[in-house]
Chain A
Amino acid sequence: MELIINGSLRELEAENLAEVVGLLGLTGKPVAAEADGQIVSSEEWKQMAVRPGMRIELVHFVGGG
């Protein structure tokens, strides 16, 4: 399905937010997620169903400095 991830249209086959994070290779990384403007904590990613057109923001925390 088509999802809008970090502002770009992406074609991904995923049932829930945890799968989206996995497909992007971010599982286990320091990532915060927002779905349609609402922050979703990592324990809830599995229960968070995704649907076509959903706006997902994945913020990968930066550790350098």
Chain B
Amino acid sequence: MLFAPIGEQGQRILMNRSVLIVGMGALGTVLANHMVRSGIGRVRMVDRDYVEPSNLQRQMLFDEEDAEQGLPKVIAARNKLARINSSVELEAVFTDATPENIAGLLEGVDLVLDGTDNFETRFLLNDACFREGVPFLYGGAVSSRGMTALFIPGQTPCLRCLIQSADSGGQTCDTIGVISPIVDIVASYQAAEALKFLVGAADKRRSSLLTLDIWNNQYYEMKLGRAKDSCPCCGLRQYPALERKADDLLSLCGRESVQVSGHEPFDLDIWSGRLAPAVKSVKLNPYLLRAELSEGERLVLFADGRVLVQGTSDIIRAKTLYARYIGS
């Protein structure tokens, strides 16, 4: 490591650090790439989704073969990252981050990097991080706009101090799009702050919320100020996202997909045999099963018991298909 502010000693420190990246989409793949090439000791990645052709425009660790096989994003990412730096311990966790499992995911982690694509998961991360005392490095990008801030329990405000609403007004990457440069830029800012934090360069930390619009040439830094006394997390020590139960039925915004959870784990081989006679086609890999339905939709069964109904955003329709093929 020639960069003096990190140096030999910093490199050794990084080797003993551990990060959690939640979401392995556009931001998450750039984050993982930076963390692994920087030689962070352990990188844990969590994501609930699998690689599809539409991801390839902006999700840098994936290729056409991953999409063809329908590999889980965390598995495809791990496969690629292991070839980039074999000294990094990589942990791929193929599941949804939920109020039930988030404490386990945070265990032994020095910093949480936000690679998610929705506010619901961000509030979950924020609340869990502030309860457990783990810093949370927020990042978001949509259209040509992006933002990032490092929230440190006990030192800075949290996400809930700054915003109360989680209503993105339907503006997601899947509805209004995103151009890949802003993704790389935001994730790279996050990665730089992560390195500063992990190596202990506290005096170099950016203590602002950075907002960028690379199409309209705007750049703004808002001072974070102090944590709010009225904030549920910082003031009242309540963590709303951890107290609610995860929804069994979740329409994934802009994705024409409904996720149904609550089933016990699937034995995918058995289900492959069971569904094959009833549907147009079945594709199986060790992690998931894709069934093309004659109705036009697609069912994706995950070993952890989740089912994704693709091709509809209507929860009732998804329930009907679920009942028809999986049971109730």
Beta-carbon nearest neighbor of A37 in chain B: B223
Quick one: which of B27, B140, B224 contacts A61, CB cutoff 8 A?
A: B140
Q: Which of these binds chain A: B114-122, B262-270, B282-290, B300-308?
A: B114-122
> Is A65 part of the contact surface with B, judged by Cβ < 8 Å?
yes
Among A26-65, those with CB < 8 Å from B are: 28-32, 34, 37-39, 41-43, 57, 59, 61-65
Q: How large is the interface on B (under 10, 10 to 19, 20 to 34, 35 or more residues)?
A: 35 or more
Q: Which residues of B contact A31 (CB under 8 A)?
A: 163, 165
Question: What is the interface of chain B mostly: helix, strand, loop, or mixed?
Answer: mixed
Per-residue CB contact flags for chain B residues 114-147 toward chain A (1 = under 8 Å, else 0) read: 1111110010000000000000000111110111
A28 engages B167 (CB within 8 Å): yes
Quick one: which of B25, B146, B165, B166 contacts A62, CB cutoff 8 A?
A: B146
Q: Which residues of B contact A29 (CB under 8 A)?
A: 165, 167-169
Q: Which of these binds chain A: B79-87, B104-112, B170-178, B238-246?
A: B170-178
In angstroms, Cα B211 to Cα A32, docked, is 11
Question: What is the interface of chain A mostly: helix, strand, loop, or mixed?
Answer: loop
Q: Which residues of A contact B161 (CB under 8 A)?
A: 41
A63 engages B209 (CB within 8 Å): no
In angstroms, Cα B165 to Cα A37, docked, is 22
Q: Which residues of A contact B163 (CB under 8 A)?
A: 30-32, 42, 61
A57 engages B222 (CB within 8 Å): yes
Interface size on A, residues (CB 8 A): 21
B119 engages A7 (CB within 8 Å): no
Contacts A34-B223, A63-B119, A63-B171 known; 4 new A-B pairs at CB < 8 A:
A59-B209, A62-B147, A65-B25, A65-B114
- 22 A-B pairs within 8 Å (CB atoms) are namely A6-B218, A28-B165, A28-B167, A32-B163, A34-B223, A39-B225, A43-B230, A59-B220, A61-B119, A61-B163, A61-B168, A62-B140, A62-B145, A63-B117, A63-B122, A63-B140, A64-B117, A64-B142, A64-B172, A64-B173, A64-B178, A65-B140
Give B contacts to A, CB under 8 Å. Answer: 23, 25-28, 114-119, 122, 139-143, 145-147, 161-169, 171-173, 178, 183, 209, 211, 218, 220, 222-225, 228, 230
